[in-house]
Amino acid sequence: MRVLIFGATGLLGRPLLSEWKEDEVRGVGSKDVDIRDVEQVREAVESARPDWIVNAAAYTDVDGCESNRELAFAVNCRGAVNIARAAKSCGSRVLLISTDYVFDGLSTSPYETGHPRAPRSVYGHSKAQMEEEIEKLYPTACIVRTAWLFGVGGKCFPDTILKLTAARSEISVVDDQRGSPTHAPDLARAIIALCRAGASGIVHATNSGECTWFEFAREIVHDAGLSTVVRPTTSDKFVRPAPRPKYSVLSPRSLHAYGVAMPHWKDALRDYLRARHEAGIS
């Protein structure tokens, strides 16, 4: 199987490249191909002639999207549509990454794939519109929604917490937002399995279990063997440009339907800390 990965230098793209064995895999980053450019995308796809294309490229600065709406939609929506259109033209299957931010965060039980979209941020709107356009353009495409992504070598919540604890004896973290942390290598393995299974439609993929950001931070500090005190606080103490979902746990039912399951987020965190240590990151 031939595979082409867009966004191959990012937080998810790197583990996709390293985890994908036994297939012919090519990765391109933003310096190689600007997915906003139709011709660049078309040339990359026609050159690779892949059986599957995975789009891991995105503008994921949630707060930055609020003040850069045009860029958010250009990358997250139109860029993804460019990829899907090129894939369809070449007869390639395509898998695109979406987010829990397509929901309003008002639920009290895990979101199923068919729950109505109701984004509250520019980032969420850009991804929701992408989903809607892809469903019309390429109905057999696979859209994988994920949440709270973290991994070695990129900006993510555990990295931020570990940097804060190096400078402070006490930190406060919001305890009124609940979701499921997702380790990039675990998500990469799930995506590989979905492609090999010929997945289509919307699939939810996160590590199992759920927690608040405070509970996640407390576990990070504990597992890292640090003495920093982590205290709970509320979202109104940390006002951000983009609204955050209060609840964004995604149901794994759609993932399990393909015989794919992901580890618990606590096990994933330990894997992350181990990989971070092996990479020599303090």
CB contact set of 179 (below 8 Å; sequence gap of 6+)? 100, 147, 148, 206, 210, 211, 245, 247, 248, 249
Minimal CA–CA distance to 102: which of 82, 88, 123?
123
Contact in structure between 219 and 163 (CB atoms under 8 Å): no
Minimal CA–CA distance to 103: which of 74, 89, 123, 88?
123
Helices and strands counted in the chain (H then E)? 11, 12
Positions marked active-site: 123
Distance CA 77, CA 119 (A): 14
Residue type, 115: H
Report the chain's terminal Cα–Cα distance, integer Å: 38
Distance CA 126, CA 69 (A): 8
Nearest 5°: phi and psi at 252?
-85, 5
Residue type, 117: R
Minimal CA–CA distance to 78: which of 37, 125, 28?
37
